[in-house]
Amino acid sequence: MSTTTALKPMTEHSAAEIERVKDWINSEDYKEKNFAREALVINPAHACQPLGAQLVAHGFAGSLPFVHGSQGCASYFRSTFSRHFREPAAATSDAMTEDGAVFGGQNNLFEGLENAYALYRPSIMPIFTTCMPEVIGDDLTAFTRNAKQKGHIPEDLPTPYANTPSFNGTHIHGYDAMLKAILEYLADGKKTDGNDNGKLYLIPGFDGNTANLREYKRYLQMMGVPCTLLADISEVFDSPCDGTYRLYAGGTPLDEAADAVNARATISLMKYCTPNTLKWLEGNSVGTSIDLPLPMGIRNTDAFLMKVSELFDMPIPAELKAERGRAVDAMTDAHQYLHGKKFAVAGDPDYLLGIVTFLLEMGAIPYHILCSRSTKKFRKEMEALLATSPLYGALGTVYINKDLWHMRSLCMTDPVDAIIGDTHCKWVARDAKIPLFRVGFPIIDRVNLHRTPVIGYQGAINLLTMMVNKFLDTVDETCEDQWFEMMR
């Protein structure tokens, strides 16, 4: 005989009290209290450092990313990439547990490296850390040296490593740390006496859009500029389905990555994502190392192409000029549907600068601009960008070190027409009853958006089309005019 025991809630609230609180969290009074909190983060618009390190590690040929830390952390990184790209994210971990936290993780690392190499024969194993080994102070320099000396892995296996504590920084800082570590390791002793290799090395930064990377390569091929992308994930996470599983599909060839110090020029398109890597390249490469804004919208794309043309003395081909003309025409045809609309925007610093540039070009108003981990330098740059358009940018406000629960308060008390950001902005959009335009990382509740470029001239058309058609759909589905936008 079974019996059912009713569980009594620890705290009971009346229906009236629940409704009162639901209304109150949409008020200015609650917003003031929400913005006063300091010791709590709710729904951050960023991920942790090792996730960014893993994206870099995937971007090199024959690479098996190796997580020095717990299995749960590794599963989180892998599942996030798998859900965003709808592709497997092959990586391994040494599965540290309680004993590792007490005695250190060297034995875990030895066993993990040995098993991973025996099973998968990678060409390179980039190693990065999670919270546990960082808290106890594991020495990866000594650990990896000891692993090779004791014969757990071959002496000549590249094992660059990066310290990427999850409790500090974000995914873009982990990206920077891992990319710098890989280049330092591979390029050791490879610098020439001043003669460059005539190539452009392009650093796309933390970008979950594989189509963006393909667009860069297409542009440079059209211009006749020899180019290598550093941390090229375009094939890794977007390989063809032809019946053959490729554990190591695509990625930047290791010999080409090693030759990065001999580039004629290196361009980083996400300076807030790669400051330490770019600084290292400036001091250790024979060519020019610069950063440019993410080429979203017409102005930024023009700047990118003109700088490449200047560096390599190559003309911009007529085909690209025609693409530019089509993008400008499309923006002219549809600008009235975005003109004057207010947008909330959340994401990484470099993506935010690109999106805001595009909105200003369309005569839209970037109204609430939120970056959950950034600096006063970024805020000043964003404010300077807004100031370039007194009519549309003057109304925008920049919020740094705030989260998406802060964004909810902003959108409920000072409404906007739409929000631009990743999937985690969905709850703000739902409560505010506004559209969410999914741009950034991760996008886990829609498919194939990472296969549609948002950079370059075609990217401007894609962004424009997505936004305008959603606004038109909403009006068409709710208005009483059955002849909406029709002549008969």
Starting at the edge strand found earlier in the chain, the sheet holding 227-229 runs 227-229, 200-203, 265-268, 288-291
Q: Any idea which residues carry the catalytic annotation?
A: 131, 135
- Reported as a pLDDT band with limits 50, 70 and 90, residue 484 is confident
Nearest to 296 by CA among 341, 266, 327: 327
The Cβ of residue 43 has, within 10 Å, a number of other Cβ atoms equal to 15
Contact between 23 and 215 (Cβ < 8 Å) = no
**Mind listing the pLDDT tens digit for each residue in 46-96?**
999 999 999 999 999 999 999 999 999 999 999 999 999 999 999 999 999
The Cβ of residue 83 has, within 10 Å, a number of other Cβ atoms equal to 15
Distance of CA 28 to CAs 22, 119, 412, 427, 459, Å?
Answer: 13, 58, 9, 19, 37
Alpha carbon 431 to its chain's center: 25
Q: Which residue has the higher pLDDT, 13 or 281?
A: 281
**Mind listing the pLDDT tens digit for each residue in 341-350?**
999 999 999 9
Nearest to 476 by CA among 486, 463, 462: 486
State yes or no: pLDDT of 4 exceeds 80. no
pLDDT at 103: 76
pLDDT at 3: 65
pLDDT at 485: 78
Contact between 379 and 398 (Cβ < 8 Å) = yes
Cα–Cα distance measured from residue 251 to residue 45, given in angstroms and rounded to the nearest whole number: 27
Q: What is the mean pLDDT of the chain?
A: 95
Positive or negative, the Cα torsion across 194, 197, 200, 204? negative
Cα–Cα distance measured from residue 343 to residue 234, given in angstroms and rounded to the nearest whole number: 30
Within 8 A by CB and 6+ apart from 382, the residues are 352, 353, 356, 369, 398
Question: Which CB contacts under 8 angstroms, 24+ apart, belong to 232-236?
Answer: 232/59, 233/55, 233/58, 233/59, 234/210, 236/58, 236/59, 236/87
Contact between 294 and 350 (Cβ < 8 Å) = yes
Average pLDDT over residues 432-442: 97
**Mind listing the pLDDT tens digit for each residue in 229-276?**
999 999 999 999 999 888 999 999 999 999 999 999 999 999 999 999
**Mind listing the pLDDT tens digit for each residue in 297-320?**
999 999 999 999 999 999 999 999
Residue corresponding to tokens 């992308």: 229
State yes or no: pLDDT of 101 exceeds 80. no
State yes or no: pLDDT of 488 exceeds 80. no
**Mind listing the pLDDT tens digit for each residue in 186-213?**
999 999 987 899 999 999 999 999 999 9
Average pLDDT over residues 118-140: 94
pTM as predicted: 0.94
Assign 367 to helix, strand or coil: strand
Cα–Cα distance measured from residue 118 to residue 96, given in angstroms and rounded to the nearest whole number: 20
Average pLDDT over residues 12-28: 93
pLDDT at 2: 61
pLDDT at 10: 77
- Reported as a pLDDT band with limits 50, 70 and 90, residue 359 is very high
Positive or negative, the Cα torsion across 48, 131, 118, 161? positive
Contact between 265 and 285 (Cβ < 8 Å) = no
- Domains in the chain with CATH codes: 49-186 (3.40.50.1980), 200-316 (3.40.50.1980), 319-478 (3.40.50.1980)
